Structure 1
């Protein structure tokens, strides 16, 4: 059984990834609004990059949650 310290690190890692996702969502919202007002293609690339962050973190978040559930 892992120590409380190890459990805290896993929980903190998962929460940090969730925070990054929240920041990415905020950026997507701003970009989507701007795109709807201006229709600039280069800004769409930023939205895609922010969404890639969400995709990347989704598996790590799931893995961290599963690790937490094992403890």
Structure 2
């Protein structure tokens, strides 16, 4: 596949926006998790924590992809 700087920039820009959304969702889930824990719904809070871990893992992969795209 030929190198296309414009495509790499556009892809990195879109991934950056998705990463910002990922962080916003993580923050919202964290707030809900805190509320759940404080209100005795620990089993649901645990599930929310697992979701946050997934967001963190995927955010790392998205960040790595953005960096690779911006290096070209």
Give the TM-score taking structure 1 as reference length: 0.69
User: Which structure: greater helix fraction?
Assistant: 1
What CA deviation, in whole Å up to 9, does each residue of 1:40-65 have, x standing for no partner?
A: 22331122212212212212212212
4+ residue runs over 3 A deviation: none
Q: CA RMSD in A?
A: 2.1
Give the paired residue count.
70
CA contact (8 A) 1:35 1:43 kept: yes
Shift of 1:36: 2.2
Are the counterparts in 1 of residues 12 and 66 from structure 2 also a CA contact under 8 Å? yes
CA contact (8 A) 1:28 1:51 kept: no
Q: Equivalent residues in 2 for 1:44-59 (5 A)?
A: 44-59=46-61
Q: Note the residue ranges of structure 2 that are not aligned, 5 or more in a row.
A: none
Segments of 5+ residues of structure 1 without an aligned counterpart are none
Query: Structure 1 residues 54 and 13, CA, compared in 2 at 3 Å: closer, same or farther?
Result: same
